[in-house]
Structure 1
């Protein structure tokens, strides 16, 4: 069974009932303490994402899991043969929980880190980054910053980044393949008012690849709509 998306608003309740944004560590620390370390995967589990992950990041890849939380995805990927996954999260609470849980699995490393500042990683550190919900949380505000991941530049000037997020206004590009009937967008690139997918568990997989000689990609291409 897939997990729901994060709420549409940008705030949650921290300790003491204070209103906090989803970009604040205190919100997530309080949430993970309340949940007691129970595993939780946003959107979909690895088995639903497996065909996409294998296509863009073979098991020998050095992977960066952005906003890992308490998800089982990295564990499932190790079971599937992945050999090196660096997991980062803004919450020191969940990172400590995951370190204790997976202390005997050398393929998994857990670091407390804000994705907006990953300066401790040298460039050319990773082959691929996987994000499942973190970018949604950071970009729910109008003035939210974009995330820059220069650490993915492998020799040869190519890197891939797989984003598993809901469709967002302003994302251009074409749908190459789909498993749902095409839905015409408005002139502003938005879904029609009142549009509701037939399957509420359907989500979108964005696979972005930096081409040789480019420093950034202006607009990601939708590779495929995924559904469980």
Structure 2
């Protein structure tokens, strides 16, 4: 399933192809963070992942988010990307930071890693890229199956995406994953709420109460049409399903040093 934003963002490029990304990184160089910087995502990351977590950053590209996370106290982040150009670049850049590891790898086949290798997986735009590639539904299923396999029980997959629940929940809510999904929405960087808006300002740390069918409530208003959704998919075991507590995400909790 695709959203209009999937289609409009894909243009004519195959974002699931290594050659496209190799060429782009050679041409651009430097650093670039898709969608959001760590400063905006920090409350959500700190709430979901203790500093001692073993984390996997999929589709890391040339982003500085992992570096920012290490500065914030995270101790073990493995970064993978399909582009060998990006990985070589980042290895050289961060060879002096032992907390960061970089490996060339396709998210659709991460068999290098054994089952239950990570406490958390972070995805900032990688699933979105696959949705722009050939055989998008198959690629998405392959990736998510691998993510689920690599997560330890109790671990979480954090997806930052422009895909709303109508196009992302069918992929994420498959029973085989056993994920308890919590959804948030944050505006794009620099977004200013229109002064003419009469709606009460919502806290972005408040989860969106999805309907039983996994869709947005009919009265929910997206203040920024170009905002990003954050899906936190927690891997649970069968005996937990009826007893998982729901925690309110607050600034105090988010900034707690665990």
TM-score normalised by the shorter chain: which range applies? 0.7 to 0.9
Q: Deviations over 1:122-149 (max 9, x none)?
A: 1121100000000011123653432222
Q: 2:59 aligns with which of 67, 74, 78?
A: 67
Q: Quick check: 2:121–2:151 contact (8 Å CA) kept in 1?
A: yes
Q: Deviations over 1:68-102 (max 9, x none)?
A: 00001000000000000000000000000000000
The verdict on how the C-alpha distance between 1:188 and 1:68 changes in structure 2, with shifts beyond 3 A counting, is closer
The verdict on how the C-alpha distance between 1:109 and 1:200 changes in structure 2, with shifts beyond 3 A counting, is same
Provide the C-alpha distance between the structure 2 equivalents of 1:184 and 1:125, rounded to a whole number of angstroms: 30
The verdict on how the C-alpha distance between 1:211 and 1:106 changes in structure 2, with shifts beyond 3 A counting, is same
Q: Quick check: 1:138–1:144 contact (8 Å CA) kept in 2?
A: no
Q: Looking at both structures, which has the greater relative contact order when contacts are Cα pairs under 8 Å and sequence separation is at least 6?
A: 2
TM-score normalised to the size of structure 2?
0.66
- How many Å apart are 1:199 and its aligned residue? 2.9
- How many Å apart are 1:169 and its aligned residue? 2.4
The verdict on how the C-alpha distance between 1:135 and 1:191 changes in structure 2, with shifts beyond 3 A counting, is farther
The verdict on how the C-alpha distance between 1:96 and 1:174 changes in structure 2, with shifts beyond 3 A counting, is closer
Establish whether residue 211 from structure 1 lines up as the match of residue 208 from structure 2: no
TM-score normalised to the size of structure 1?
0.74
Q: Quick check: 2:53–2:76 contact (8 Å CA) kept in 1?
A: yes
Q: Quick check: 1:10–1:22 contact (8 Å CA) kept in 2?
A: no
For 1:14-25, what aligned pairs fall within 5 Å after superposition?
A: 21-25=14-18
Provide the C-alpha distance between the structure 2 equivalents of 1:176 and 1:97, rounded to a whole number of angstroms: 33
- How many Å apart are 1:201 and its aligned residue? 5.5
The residue number in structure 2 matching 1:15 is none
Q: Which has the higher helix share?
A: 2
Q: 2:166 aligns with which of 169, 176, 183?
A: 169
The residue number in structure 2 matching 1:143 is 137
Establish whether residue 82 from structure 1 lines up as the match of residue 81 from structure 2: no
Q: Quick check: 2:159–2:231 contact (8 Å CA) kept in 1?
A: yes
Provide the C-alpha distance between the structure 2 equivalents of 1:69 and 1:175, rounded to a whole number of angstroms: 25
The residue number in structure 2 matching 1:9 is 10
Establish whether residue 112 from structure 1 lines up as the match of residue 104 from structure 2: yes
For 1:128-139, what aligned pairs fall within 5 Å after superposition?
A: 128-139=120-131
The residue number in structure 2 matching 1:122 is 114
- How many Å apart are 1:160 and its aligned residue? 1.1
Provide the C-alpha distance between the structure 2 equivalents of 1:208 and 1:188, rounded to a whole number of angstroms: 13
Q: How many residues align?
A: 198
- How many Å apart are 1:176 and its aligned residue? 7.9
